[in-house]
Amino acid sequence: MSTKNFLFVNRKAPYGTVYALESLEVVLISAAFEQNVSLAFIDDGVYQITKGQNSKGIGMKNFSPTFRALGDYDITKLYVSTESLAERGLTVDDLMELTYEDADDDYAEKPSIILVNREEMAAMMAEQEVILSF
């Protein structure tokens, strides 16, 4: 099967709706198809990867640790909108430290989060072949 550039666009906050969780389920499945997968976190989507999520009080499962596993599935490109962070009073320090081990560089640990501005995000989107948004 051919390889395509897949982009998953995440623009919604977690827990209030199921979109973030079920989007992540597709991302994990796509890894099995060995596609060139990227994720974009724009607008309220940046809340999906904040650190210190504690969902005990709402009776729902905290699924944010799953993002930490993405590197093991060779999903290593998580583009985060700097404007979206700034608009929400957040910085990269408010996000989980998401990393992967680079097999081409002696398994050095590298960051998966790529901070991009709107122009860079738009340029990245223009490279995609299949764009899934939920």
Partner 1 sequence: MKYTILVNEGPYQHQAADSAIQFVRAALEKGHEIFRVFFYHDGVNNGTRLTVPPADDRLIQKAWTELAEKHGLDLVICIAAAQRRGIMDADEAKRQGLDANNIAPGFRISGLGQLVEGGIQADRLVVFGD
Partner 2 sequence: MSMLHIVNKSPFERVAFASCLAHANAGDSILMIEDAVVGAVDGSSFSDKVKAAMSDKTVYVLGADLAARGLEGKAMEGIVSVDYAGFVDLTANNDTTQSWL
Task: Return residues touching partner 2 (CB under 8 A).
Answer: 9, 11, 42-43, 83, 118, 121-123, 125-131, 133-134
How far apart CA 84 and CA 43 sit, in angstroms, is 5
Binding mask 30-49 for partner 1 (x = CB under 8 A): x-xx-x--------------
Beta carbon of residue 84, minimum distance to partner 2 (angstroms, whole number) = 9
Q: Please name the residue that has the structure tokens 């005990």.
A: 56
User: To the nearest whole angstrom, how small is the minimum distance from the Cβ of residue 130 to partner 1?
Assistant: 4
Quick one: what does residue 128 bind among partner 1, partner 2, none, with the CB cut-off 5 to 8 Å set by partner type?
Answer: partner 2
DSSP state letters, 71-105 = GGGT---EEEEHHHHHHTT--GGGB---EEEEGGG
Q: How far apart are CA 49 and CA 30, in angstroms?
A: 19
